[in-house]
A and B are shown apart, each in its own frame.
Chain A
């Protein structure tokens, strides 16, 4: 079985979010970039499935050369080869078009990615790719097992989950606890250096919804502390001052 995992190259979850150039650009000064945490779950499950069924595992990122270390890390975790579509990820539609093109070329049985990127939180690329390729898409998927030609999944819904069955090929946007994150070992890191990382050019330049200006939320005022022996004070504040009761 051939699996494609699409990963994002995003600021670490503990990064301080700041903007530069008159709030038109993310300020990456001092920021560490990682594989998107949801993509990391997708990758971990894909490595397990590849080990179980055989075949090839490809990782893909739409990004500039700065994404290469992130792709190398995915190779160290267990992917067999990497593709980087050499462009900034301009918007979700742009990214979906690139993935759909290269996914079609590769003829994958299963396409996994995170439920959403942790920078723009759109959560739409998997569905767009699904529709572009005429494949079913599911998200957020928290369990995915393959039994013969049947894929059994659990999809999280508000306050619970639903169990699903579908056939390959399909696309899933993944989240925990689909698998445990995998930490690359020394052998993985060594072998990642020689695995292929192919840089390809974008196939379309179309965009639909591009972020042009950024803004931080207003700073939070200092916390008001209430004495633990006078909790009724807190109730009054919530009722009369915050007006949330």
Chain B
């Protein structure tokens, strides 16, 4: 028996969130005795990069190198996972919650007759039955969920588990997937991805700006601060609605939900819809010139002051310290 983990990669690198999923599966196996952790990687990616997945706790990586799978073709990925599930004789599939992961896991759940639990925040409680704690109401509450099926899929929320880094290299084994034309009936015609930047949903530190910045031309200081911290940049909904920043940077209820270690909000008042996107952050810093801004109530640390004055100073202080 094994636990199967679905690995995502972009630009030749396995995603950190997928490594967290491997770490989660490793800890889960230690608890339930479900055997080795076997990861499945699809498409073109280097063998060394896959072997390194072992550091997070995988014993083996199955690699279906078919280049048509490099892009996230939802139907084909779900089929490949179902075949790997059958091959390794797994009962549990673990994956990171993501744009592609969610879409693939839902189809897989039907294919393998598994309960799918999403936004899982800790290891399941198996003392009586199988109970999984997950985040609901956009981070505003948790639900304990009773799973009644033998097969299970757990989609892990970011930071649900500490990343394991002390494992040894995994065995990489090539894996033949049989796919039909219907698996590739939809075509990805192009992909636009911000390159060389830290991706917002996966970032450990996020620096976000709001309308208090007065215009897109003032984003330089946000980007400077983010560069100092190795952070991703985000924004509030009004800012993406008026087109100062792209939609994929919009943090909030109907945008990206982030769960970084540190979230720095600059010139954002803190509407409840924005807070819904950031309330899983470990530490929140708010910089706003209005001492009555509701965001201060949700913050760990705050500075009441003009962003144009505070942010450059903070950047200098950070540079001196880091």
Contact = CB atoms under 8 A, between A and B. Distances in A.
A220 B135 CA distance: 17
Given A121-B136, A167-B185, A157 B143 contact: no
9 contacts: A160-B191, A166-B186, A208-B148, A209-B149, A217-B142, A225-B301, A232-B320, A245-B229, A245-B262
Nearest to A211: B143
Nearest to A40: B254
Given A235-B321, A242-B300, A245-B262, A19 B146 contact: no
Contacts of B100: 157
Contacts of A177: 247
A217 B136 CA distance: 11
B50 to A, nearest CB: 20
B314 A234 contact: yes
Contacts of A176: 247, 254
A113 B32 CA distance: 37
A158 B201 contact: yes
B303 A228 contact: yes
**Main secondary structure on B side of the interface with A:** mixed
Identify which of A37, A38, A167, A208 gathers the most chain B CB atoms within 10 Å of its CB.
A208
A223 B131 CA distance: 34
A127 interface: yes
A210 B190 contact: no
Contacts of A136: 74-75, 185-186
A121 B138 contact: yes
A231 B313 CA distance: 7
Interface string A146-187: 000000000111111111111100100101110000000000
Contacts of A173: 103
Given A118-B138, A156-B248, A242 B262 contact: yes
A118 B273 CA distance: 11
A234 to B, nearest CB: 6
Interface stretch (A70-78, A103-111, A137-145): A137-145
Contacts of B314: 231, 234-235
Interface string A218-245: 0011011111100110111111001011
A239 B296 CA distance: 20
Interface of A: 11, 13-14, 17, 19, 37-38, 92-93, 96, 116, 118-128, 130-132, 136-140, 142, 155-167, 170, 173, 175-177, 207-217, 220-221, 223-228, 231-232, 234-239, 242, 244-245
Contacts of B187: 164-166
A212 B145 contact: yes
Contact of B144 (A123, A132, A213): A213
B303 A224 contact: no
A162 B192 contact: yes
Contact of B141 (A13, A17, A155, A238): A17
B193 interface: yes
A215 B141 contact: yes
Interface of B: 10, 71-72, 74-75, 78, 98-100, 102-107, 109-111, 114-119, 131-133, 135-149, 185-194, 197, 199-202, 205, 229, 247-248, 253-254, 261-262, 272-273, 276, 279, 282-283, 285-286, 296-306, 309-310, 313-314, 317-318, 320-322
Contacts of B107: 127-128, 130-131, 137
A238 B74 contact: no
A217 B261 contact: no
The 9 closest A-B pairs by CB, nearest first: A127-B106, A228-B305, A208-B115, A160-B193, A166-B186, A131-B110, A124-B106, A211-B143, A159-B199
Contacts of B10: 158
A138 B200 contact: no
A85 B205 CA distance: 44
Contacts of B137: 11, 17, 118-119, 121
A217 B140 contact: yes
Given A119-B137, A156-B99, A162-B71, A209 B254 contact: no
B135 A159 contact: no
Given A124-B105, A131-B78, A223-B297, A212 B146 contact: yes
Contacts of A128: 106-107, 109-110, 116
A123 B75 CA distance: 16
Contacts of A211: 136, 143-145
B317 A210 contact: no
Identify which of B99, B145, B282, B285 gathers the most chain A CB atoms within 10 Å of its CB.
B99
B188 A231 contact: no
Identify which of A37, A140, A160, A173 gathers the most chain B CB atoms within 10 Å of its CB.
A160
Contact of A245 (B116, B143, B192, B321): B321
A216 B191 contact: no
Contacts of A157: 72, 99-100, 191, 193
Contacts of A208: 114-116, 147-149
